Amino acid sequence: EVQLVESGGGLVQPGSSLKLSCAASGFRFDDYAMYWVRQAPGKGLEWVSSISWSGDNIEYADSVKGRFTISRDNAKNSLYLQMNTLRPEDTALYHCAKDMSPSIKVASSGLDVWGQGATVTVSS
Amino acid sequence: FQMTQSPSSMSASVGDRVTITCRASQGISTWVAWYQQKPGKAPKLLIYDASSLYRGVPSRFSGSGSGTDFTLTISSLQPEDYATYFCQQANSFPFTFGPGTKVELK
């Protein structure tokens, strides 16, 4: 079964750090680009970051650039999101998602596998 | 880069034909995907490349459009189709999702 399972969410204070993980199974992980997409409570979907199959190409939304770092370990079939200097507006459900292609240097067809998400709450 | 979506919500009955539109602020060829999301669940890919049906998705779903204007159509609404639908431009970063269309029971 093709599956993505996120972990590492929690309640943290503003300015804190948190690292999310996403474990992939059921497909060849190193064949595909991967994404983080978040959804604030009651809101829509917001793209956060993308990483190519090799990790050589990375993109970030302006809202997280300089604070968040995406990475992957193909040997462990895992995707990560290191989140530093967290703000209340980062409060959201964070989904990892699989692209239909390996590269992020060309247009994407879409994200065909999604995890259920990890909840991040930033509050004092 | 903006993706506008209309309507934001709608009421429809089982068997109705439902049309949701998405407009991009600039031309994006056919690099649009459509997703369905139910409460408490992850989004599911329905349509990719504007008009390609993702495997396992019922044929009552269809997509069309190119350039700036795109449409998701449900030919005959079924009870399991009550959900929120999002478009996404995948032409270039930053990838942008539309604000969503909530389809509710009439």
Instruction: Tell if the CB–CB gap between A107 and B54 is shorter than 8 Å.
Output: no
What per-residue confidence (pLDDT) applies to A106? 82
The percent of residues in chain B predicted with pLDDT above 90, rounded, is: 96
Q: Mean pLDDT across the stretch B19-31? A: 96
Per-residue model confidence (pLDDT) at position A122 = 98
pLDDT at site A103: 87
Kindly list the residues from chain B whose CB atom is less than 8 angstroms away from the CB atom of residue A100.
48
Q: Which residues of B touch A (CB under 8 A)?
A: 29, 31, 33, 35, 41-45, 47-49, 52, 54, 86, 88, 90-100
Closest to A107 (Cβ–Cβ): which among B31, B52, B96?
A: B31
Q: Which residue type occupies B15?
A: G
Smallest Cβ–Cβ distance between A100 and the set B48, B91, B96 belongs to B48
Report residue B82's pLDDT band, with 50, 70 and 90 as the boundaries. Answer: very high
pLDDT at A109: 87
Q: Average pLDDT by consecutive 10-residue portion of chain A (124 residues)?
A: 97 98 97 97 95 96 98 98 98 97 86 97 97
Q: Is the pLDDT of residue B104 over 90?
A: yes
pLDDT at B74 over 90: yes
Is residue B72 very low, low, confident or very high in pLDDT (cuts 50, 70, 90)? very high
pLDDT of residue A99: 95
Spatial contact of B4 and B22, defined as CB atoms under 8 Å apart: yes
Residue with tokens 């669940």: B41
- Residue A113 pLDDT: 97
Sequence-ordered strand ranges (E) for chain A: 3-7, 10-12, 18-25, 34-39, 45-51, 58-60, 68-73, 78-83, 92-99, 111-114, 118-122
* Phi/psi at B44 (5° precision): -120, 135
In this predicted structure, what is the pLDDT of residue A107? 82
Using CA atoms, how far apart are residues B30 and A90, in angstroms rounded to an integer?
31
> Which residues of chain A are within 8 Å of residue B44 when distances are taken between CB atoms?
114
In A, which residues are within 8 Å of B47 by CB distance?
Answer: 110
Residue A66, chain B, CB below 8 Å: the answer is: no
- 């804190």: which residue's tokens? A16
CB contact residues (below 8 A), chain A span 95-124, against chain B: 95, 100, 104, 107-112, 114-117
Is B43 buried (19+), middle (13-18) or exposed (0-12) by CB count in 10 A? buried
Q: Which tokens in the block code for residue A42?
A: 């009651």
pLDDT computed for residue A104 by the predictor? 84
